[in-house]
Structure 1
Amino acid sequence: MTSRTDFKKTLDAYQARQGRFRVVDVPDMRYLMIDGHGDPNTSSAFSEAVEALYPVAYKLKFASKRDLGRDYVVPPLEGLWWAEDMAAFTVARDKSRWDWTLMLMVPDWIDQTMVSTAVEQTRARNRPARLDEVRLETLSEGRCVQTLHVGSFDDEANVLAHLHHEVIPGHGFRMVGTHHEIYLSDFRRVAPAKHRTILRQPVTIEGAPGV
């Protein structure tokens, strides 16, 4: 019987605890990605991105189990978030100004040919509106600081402000890269008060060149 890998349990990058800010060195990871802009609560582009990513991800999972004998749990949805003025996250929370990339991680044994096949299989069956925008890309974050937030997304502001203005400079770091969220709970099915979200920020040593 084929064993099934659960990356939430086996990858150190998916480990976080509420109230603790942890420095972690994240390896390069490969994702199915789609970009977008605007309020995730009201933007059709956001829901359409989710609807395009998951069918491809599950077809990859089934192909991996069938053809390679390597089964795994489809990892949690993740998102990169940014705005021209990052105060839109920690102060104003003006979601209409947010840019984002939604992502689902794929194992390193999945190649572009498998992804292209999964996209074509999805197209033949139900053709999600944004299917043609799904891409496979490597994300290189390196050293990061992360914590677990439990509760509504709208309650993240104070945690992020503490992370950005106290924890990160307190460790002699400065922020680089893009704010990253990992949704350990399915926000389509779990009550907001019970959402479990890893909040991650890539960093570099203060004074070092950054991206």
Structure 2
Amino acid sequence: MAFDYKKEYKEFYFPKAVPGIVTVPRMNFLAVRGSGDPNAEDGEYKGAIGLLYGIAFTIKMSKKGDHRIDGYFDYVVPPLEGFWWQEGTAGIDYTRKEDFKWISVIRLPDFVTEEDFKWAIAEASEKKKQDFSKVEFLTYQEGLCVQCMHIGAYDEEPETVEKMHQFMKEQGYVLDITDQRYHHEIYLSDARRVAPEKRKTVIRHPIKKAVRLR
């Protein structure tokens, strides 16, 4: 049976619909960087998703070709995720989608090395006759975060974020969104098939301990 990261690491992919604190370890990802409204029909975002899945499935299906990856085991491709920010904003302003900067990512199994990644880029480029040069191998250690399962439309996320921030403060933490630590979303529902009110999205924000004034 294929290894499913969502089921094996439920603390990262299936948090409760109430805020909680989590420490996220270092992970490797396929990543594509871009900017602009993710809903734009011909925007960068939709193109980025296609590139990510093209490489993700090239790696997964390597078992059927000549390239052998050391330590390979069959697995379910993890869900699409995204790191989001806007210049000059400590958080996300959902009314200014055109100002979004983002890194779209899909988690890689630990057995995938940078050399395996380079092979996958070359393999997909050759077989699909497409430019995959925007895809990069990204190592990211998220660290201490507050997270919550958001159920509903993406535009309703501010309500969940507000609950997360209130909980964070009650637990003695402050928000730590920086140039290196981002608003993070994990998409557990296929937006093409699931009604907005039923979509499940993990929302995660970086935090740090509040400084106590004496």
CA distance, structure 2, for counterparts of residue 14 and residue 65 of structure 1:
29
Partner of 2:175: 175
Deviation at 1:188, TM superposition (A): 2.8
Partner of 1:98: 100
Does the 8 Å contact 1:88/1:98 carry over to 2? no
Change (3 A) 1:93 1:87: farther
Deviates more, 1:96-105 or 1:68-77: 68-77
Unaligned segments of structure 2, at least 5 residues: none
CA distance, structure 2, for counterparts of residue 34 and residue 122 of structure 1:
15
CA distance, structure 2, for counterparts of residue 28 and residue 117 of structure 1:
23
Partner of 1:60: 59
Partner of 1:120: 122
Partner of 1:147: 148
TM-score, normalization by structure 2: 0.87
Percentage of pairs with the same residue: 34
Deviation at 1:93, TM superposition (A): 2.4
TM-score, normalization by structure 1: 0.88
Does the 8 Å contact 1:61/1:74 carry over to 2? yes
CA distance, structure 2, for counterparts of residue 51 and residue 104 of structure 1:
11
Equivalence map 1:131-142=2 (5 Å): 131-142=132-143
The one-letter amino acid paired with 2:152 is: G
Match of 1:193 among 184, 191, 197: 197
Deviation at 1:56, TM superposition (A): 0.3
The one-letter amino acid paired with 1:119 is: I
The one-letter amino acid paired with 1:97 is: D
CA distance, structure 2, for counterparts of residue 158 and residue 26 of structure 1:
23
CA distance, structure 1, for counterparts of residue 12 and residue 167 of structure 2:
19
Unaligned segments of structure 1, at least 5 residues: none
CA distance, structure 2, for counterparts of residue 132 and residue 77 of structure 1:
19
The one-letter amino acid paired with 1:60 is: I
Deviation at 1:87, TM superposition (A): 6.7
Deviation at 1:125, TM superposition (A): 2.2
CA distance, structure 1, for counterparts of residue 31 and residue 38 of structure 2:
16
Does the 8 Å contact 2:82/2:185 carry over to 1? yes
CA distance, structure 1, for counterparts of residue 13 and residue 170 of structure 2:
23
Deviation at 1:194, TM superposition (A): 1.6
Q: Secondary structure at the match of 2:92?
A: helix
CA deviations over 1:15-41 (Å, ceiling 9, x no partner): 3122x1111111111100011111100
Partner of 1:50: 49
CA distance, structure 1, for counterparts of residue 146 and residue 191 of structure 2:
23
CA deviations over 1:52-107 (Å, ceiling 9, x no partner): 000100111122577345000000000001112437735x5210111110000001
Q: Secondary structure at the match of 2:54?
A: helix
> Which structure: greater helix fraction?
1
Does the 8 Å contact 1:24/1:145 carry over to 2? yes
> How many residue pairs end up in the alignment?
202
Does the 8 Å contact 2:29/2:106 carry over to 1? yes
